[in-house]
Chains A and B, each alone.
Chain A
Amino acid sequence: MSRTKNISIFLITIILFSVFGYMGAELVHGQTLSWGSQGEDVTLMQTRLRNWGFYDGPISGIFGQQTYDAVVRFQRANGLAADGIVGPQTRVAIGLPTRTGGTTTPASRGVSRSDDVHLLARTIHSESRGEPYEGQVAVGAVILNRVRSPQFPNTLAGVVYQPCAFEPVKNGAINQEPGESAYRAARDALNGWDPTGGALYFWNPATATSPWIWTRRITLRIGRHVFGV
């Protein structure tokens, strides 16, 4: 009897730990900054608040009394609820990144582009695994050309997640972790390499089902893919 009891206590402890562990992880990556928060976002916020004259303490990366007061002053001045907690609205008002995300990209990788690189690399990986390297760069370039084109959404996420546009988005293959060459290809595409010369479409002649796609003018063939405008 006492043995089953021990086991249940043990199990309950494990369950509780995993629940708290999960919540803990949520807090670290969550969006709300408040008294006691630390990290890059706090540094960024302190810098902004100091530039705007709300804060005159040190840029310490630690949310303390002075930071709290500064946040309250900032919230009052901007018509936000002056609670000293940096929730989603205050976050936007201060101009902090609104998605901290579960993946921790190294801080030295550039601010606005690290998200882009990741999403682009995943798309490239799922669309053109096993293709020659420049074929992967080309797929990345097509996606970026679409972002620039008036016929498609104006953001990378808009283009990638556009319904009926990419097969891997439909079947979820896009969520796989990209390989190293997909990352390099994504960076090369973002840095301006475009093997396709401005193509907006690519397809695999062996599997393409839509007759419409053949009305496009072909610019180049690389590996199994055909690129066109």
Chain B
Amino acid sequence: MVKEVDARGLLCPEPVLLTKQALDALGSGTVKVLVSSAAAKENVSRLAESRGWQVEVQEQGEDILLVLTKR
């Protein structure tokens, strides 16, 4: 199963909070997080990596897509 989190335009710490909810709910698999700032990208990446998720960053125009995976 894949979860998608649209955290564009949300200020700190909401992108991290929404991502944490998704990671906790899924346990493993793929979570795609769309953010709109470098700060949110760093904060979400730090949370995911600290919980053992791999982070792939993809630029999507003005936005940034973070693909978080855990097997």
Judge: A and B partners, yes or no: no
Binding site for A on B (CB under 8 A): none
Binding site for B on A (CB under 8 A): none
